[in-house]
Amino acid sequence: MPPGPKTRITDFSHHDVSFARDPFNTINRLLEEEPVAWSTKHDGFWVVNRFDDVTAAFRDYKTFSSQKGAAIPVLNLGGEYHIPVAMDPPEHAKYRKVLNPWFTAEAIAQREPEIREFIRGVIKPLADKGEWDFVPDVANVVPGSIILGIIGFGAERRAEFLERMELAMSNQAATDPETLAQIQRDKQWIDDEILALMRARREKPENDLMSVLANDPLGTGEELSDKQMLGMGMLLVLAGFHTTSAAFAAMMVHLAKHPDQRDWLIEDFSRIPAAIEEIIRVYSPATAEARYITQDVELGGETLGAGDMVLLNIAAANKDPRKFENPLEVDFKRDNRRAISFGWGVHRCLGQHLAKAMLRIEIETVLEFMPNYIVDLDRVKVSDAMGIGFVHDAVPARLEK
């Protein structure tokens, strides 16, 4: 619905290059001058920025519905059908319960030895070589391989999948027909892979997540339709690849710039989990989530109308000075129990325990095999597309010879 006469109007879009190039000042402006505002981009949407407003919206899933997907504009890799992020309770819980047991902290702890071995196999050769780029050589290798292993595709297929996702993920607001056509071809390739694996596991189940999803996962006596399978499969693949990569790269750059904090972690590895929470609070791997307004609602002095889309700005809420003192300061001792880096409410990130385990082991392994790594800060490239998350395109690094 068009905003009222007194509504604050903004030209903010999370997908704009201007946001990617100056995220912290942009967030500060949103928090202080446009806490709830109507953006004229992407056919119009509300952007909600302050911590209390964002968490209140996440909590009220009846008014702030997920039925139109979790992104603005709709995620270009089938976002409107993603299961369970494009669903509300109680439907959401049925599917989430199928996935939950695979991603609890307990389940992930059992996988830890194999994850650690895999990560060593990635990082140690780089230390031996003496020169590498943390983004393509580590950040983009580990999470994708692990999630493909859990689903059942096999870790070795990582590069093929990544190649098909890169264009789409960095062009979420694309309108150019050629780009859209290529994204469509990439999506088709991933869809075909998901359905092929589903059929293979219906034929002969194995010990992987796809074997559960392919064979009556809800216990209703019915198999998932192809569309449902793609909704779950695509979401798992996408979520598994990108956010953890972004967090790892941000950590490597931060530690390169702050040797005192690096030393503090090297002194005691048990400090790493809290450091991860702090890095993902400041360098949000997931920028924001979208909701659809089902009934008129007041928020931050504005009236959001039924039928409107709203962007809940996680990156901003996590840097709201009303909630976090000196919000831009990276303080590894900060109490981050209330940070919403993984979202908030029923949709809170399914893979958070896996992500935290991978990041912790990656960082431990780096600090073990290459504790004095040097990042070539002049050649570090921050992405121009941050609508999905705070992404580095390049983090070249080396060891002193």
Partner 1 sequence: MKPGIHRGLCESNAVCVALAPAVFDLDENGIAVPIVGDLDAEQEELTRMAIDGCPRAAVFIEDE
Q: Rule CB under 8 A: say whether 65 interacts with partner 1.
A: no
Return the number of the residue (29 or 271) whose C-beta is nearest partner 1: 271
* Contacts with partner 1, 80-119, as mask; x by CB under 8 A: ---------xx--x--x---x--xxxx-------------
Return the number of the residue (129 or 338) whose C-beta is nearest partner 1: 338
- Residues that contact partner 1, how many (by CB under 8 A): 21
Q: Rule CB under 8 A: say whether 337 interacts with partner 1.
A: yes
Beta carbons of 49 and 30 less than 8 angstroms apart: yes
Round to whole Å and give the CA distance between 178 and 183: 9
Binding residue for partner 1 (CB under 8 A) from 19, 58, 283, 332? 58
Q: Rule CB under 8 A: say whether 276 interacts with partner 1.
A: no
CB within 8 A of 270, min separation 6: which ones?
A: none
Round to whole Å and give the CA distance between 51 and 316: 8
Task: Please state the closest distance from residue 67 (CB atom) to partner 1, in A.
Answer: 17
- With contacts defined by CB under 8 A, name the span among 44-52, 341-349, 370-378, 380-388 that binds partner 1: 341-349
Round to whole Å and give the CA distance between 146 and 257: 29
CB-based burial label for 364 (10 Å; 0-12, 13-18, 19+): middle
Binding residue for partner 1 (CB under 8 A) from 155, 345, 368, 376? 345
Q: Rule CB under 8 A: say whether 120 interacts with partner 1.
A: no
Task: Please state the closest distance from residue 35 (CB atom) to partner 1, in A.
Answer: 20
SS (H, E, C) 167-201: HHHCCCCCCCHHHHHHHHHHHHHHHHHHHHHHHHH
Round to whole Å and give the CA distance between 9 and 375: 41
Round to whole Å and give the CA distance between 400 and 397: 10
Q: At what angle do helices 226-257 and 158-169 cross, to 10 degrees?
A: 80
Return the number of the residue (101 or 121) whose C-beta is nearest partner 1: 101
Tell me, what amino acid is at 239?
A
Q: Rule CB under 8 A: say whether 346 interacts with partner 1.
A: yes
Task: Please state the closest distance from residue 339 (CB atom) to partner 1, in A.
Answer: 10
Task: Please state the closest distance from residue 110 (CB atom) to partner 1, in A.
Answer: 14
Q: What is the DSSP letter of 383?
A: -
Task: Please state the closest distance from residue 198 (CB atom) to partner 1, in A.
Answer: 24
- With contacts defined by CB under 8 A, name the span among 118-126, 231-239, 303-311, 347-355 that binds partner 1: 347-355
Round to whole Å and give the CA distance between 336 and 243: 18
Question: By the criterion CB under 8 A, which residues form the site for partner 1?
Answer: 55, 58-59, 89-90, 93, 96, 100, 103-106, 337-338, 344-346, 348, 350, 352-353
